[in-house]
């Protein structure tokens, strides 16, 4: 009779129970596992760039913004924690046109990451994808204020520019993670379709704004005006980055009344008191664009624009 017909002794059964988990673990250690592709780390200088990258990159990337939605992106505290984020990054997305010139260069030095330095594949200046506006016609110096020699950097307020930026980001991501290129292209196509649909909806909603004269605090709205057709007639800042002065405000009030300005636009990170005074004296509606932090956590680029354009629509009486 074969010995296999006998039941195992209690000692043999106990040894089997104890050794089986170890044998399974040892076997698994020598079995080839499928290759896991970790998401690459992307850092953007502003939340809108981070949101666009997230939409087109999908699960191929993990993305973080260096600045907060409530911050003025011209002035960001170059904290060591931000340098650490850059140290770990494989791709850096910048607005460019010297928007970040006051704080990003120091962070790049502190990051000690050659992969994301200017000129490397891991550094993408997104202004290269857009048609730049407000390019100074002559020599530029600091006496003119915080002026941008390469053009106005606030192009992400125009969804047409954002579409070009999204395509540029998708192309660079596909180069960095070629095994994810197909899914990145699919994400891009779906996002472009959503942006185009939203753009047409916004254009219909804000058609009454076309041709209207508008004041603003900072020269932020050039690209939005180019898209929606309203007419910027002046800024509360006498020069970019300089606070309003009484003499400048007095001249601006005369201009606003003669041009029949009906709307004053201001982002929430700028002081409110002067804008309120000017709007009341014209008189005109004051629309302070809410910070993106008012949108639920995990906001998308389209959600941010929706909040902003809804506030403008209410300001001009298109919506209640």
pLDDT in tens, 221-267: 999 999 999 999 999 999 988 999 999 999 999 999 999 999 999 99
| Three-class DSSP labels, 85-113 | HHHCCCEEEECCCCCCCCCHHHHHHHHCC
Per the structure block, which two tokens stand in for 116? 């994301």
Read off φ and ψ for residue 266, nearest 5 degrees: -155, 135
Is 144's pLDDT higher than 80? no
- Split at pLDDT 50, 70, 90, the class of 297 is low
The DSSP symbol for 74 reads T
pLDDT tops 70 at residue 294:
no
Q: Are the C-beta atoms of 83 and 107 separated by less than 8 Å?
A: yes
Q: How many other CB atoms are found less than 10 A from the CB of residue 190?
A: 13
Residue 43: in which H helix or E strand, if any? Answer: strand 40-44
Q: What is the pLDDT of residues 70-103, one digit of tens each?
A: 788 988 999 999 999 999 999 999 999 999 999 9
Q: What is the mean pLDDT of the chain?
A: 86
Residue 123 in this model has a pLDDT that exceeds 50: yes
Share of the chain above pLDDT 70, in %: 83
Indicate whether 31 pLDDT > 70: no
Full DSSP string of 38-63: PPEEEEESSHHHHHHHHHHHGGGEEE
Cα–Cα distance for residue pair 53/95, rounded to 1 Å: 13
- Residue pLDDT, tens place only, 158-175: 999 999 999 999 999 999
Confidence label for 151 from pLDDT (cuts 50, 70 and 90): very high
Burial of 300 (0-12, 13-18, 19+ CB in 10 A): middle
Residue 13 CB partners (closer than 8 Å, separation 6+)? none
Beta strands at 285-289 and 231-235: parallel, antiparallel or unpaired: unpaired
């Amino acid at each position: 009779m074969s010995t296999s017909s006998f039941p195992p002794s209690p000692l043999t059964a106990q040894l089997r129970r104890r050794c089986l988990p170890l044998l399974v673990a040892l076997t698994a250690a020598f079995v080839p596992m499928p290759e896991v592709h970790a998401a690459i780390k992307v850092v953007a200088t502003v939340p809108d760039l981070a949101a666009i990258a997230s939409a087109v990159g999908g699960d191929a990337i993990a993305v973080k913004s260096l600045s907060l939605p409530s911050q003025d992106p011209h002035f960001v505290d170059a904290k060591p924690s931000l340098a650490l984020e850059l140290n770990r990054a494989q791709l850096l997305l910048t607005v460019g046109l010297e928007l970040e010139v006051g704080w990003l260069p120091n962070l790049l030095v502190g990051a000690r990451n050659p992969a994301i330095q200017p000129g490397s594949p891991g550094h993408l200046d997104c202004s290269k994808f857009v048609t730049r506006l407000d390019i100074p016609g002559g020599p530029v110096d600091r006496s003119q204020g915080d002026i941008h020699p390469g053009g106005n950097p606030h192009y992400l307020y125009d969804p047409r520019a954002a579409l070009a930026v999204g395509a540029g980001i998708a192309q660079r991501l596909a180069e960095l993670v070629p095994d994810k290129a197909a899914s990145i292209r699919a994400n891009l196509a779906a996002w472009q379709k959503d942006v185009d649909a939203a753009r047409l909806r916004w254009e219909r909603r804000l058609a009454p704004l076309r041709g209207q004269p508008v004041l603003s605090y900072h020269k932020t709205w050039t690209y939005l005006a180019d898209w929606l057709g309203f007419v910027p007639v002046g800024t509360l800042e006498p020069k970019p980055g300089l606070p309003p002065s009484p003499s400048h405000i007095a001249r601006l009030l005369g201009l606003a009344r003669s041009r029949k300005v009906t709307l004053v636009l201001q982002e929430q990170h700028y002081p409110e008191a002067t804008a309120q005074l000017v709007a009341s004296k014209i008189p005109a509606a004051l629309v302070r664009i809410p910070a993106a932090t008012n949108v639920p956590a995990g906001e998308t680029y389209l959600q941010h624009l929706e909040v902003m354009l809804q506030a403008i629509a209410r300001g001009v009486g298109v919506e209640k």
